Amino acid sequence: MLEWYPPPGSDGHLLLKINIAFIAVSTVIVATRLIIRAFVIRSLGIDDLVSTIGLPLTDSAVFNGSGTRMDEVPPDKLIKFFNVSLVSLHFLQSYKTKR
């Protein structure tokens, strides 16, 4: 499944399990929202785009070291984590300024 797990002494294990549960619930909610907005209301908006793009970005941050001390995360995972975080922040900031 995953090629790297947080070290046993960190909070990463607990956060990973909690985040996986929330990711599963969030995926169901976003999918249900998109289905209702697309087929029942027949009106997709920018907020649907933001929620659809934001969900995988959050997933990627969780699986690349979120909740683990920086010195315990392998450098390649740390770089991916910060890249995803910067993309997420830029995306949210651009959405905020366009509204």
The pLDDT tens digits for 12-43 are: 677 778 878 888 898 899 899 999 999 998 88
User: Angle CA(53)–CA(35)–CA(95) in degrees, nearest 5?
Assistant: 30
Amino acid at the residue 38 = A
Nearby residues of 19 by Cβ (< 8 Å), 6 or more positions away = 62, 66, 67
Q: What is the pLDDT of residue 1?
A: 38
Q: What DSSP designation does 11 have?
A: T
pTM: 0.61
Q: What is the pLDDT of residue 32?
A: 93
pLDDT mean over 70-79: 75
Considering just the CA atoms, what is the radius of gyration of the chain in Å?
16
Across the chain, mean pLDDT equals 75
Q: What is the pLDDT of residue 28?
A: 93
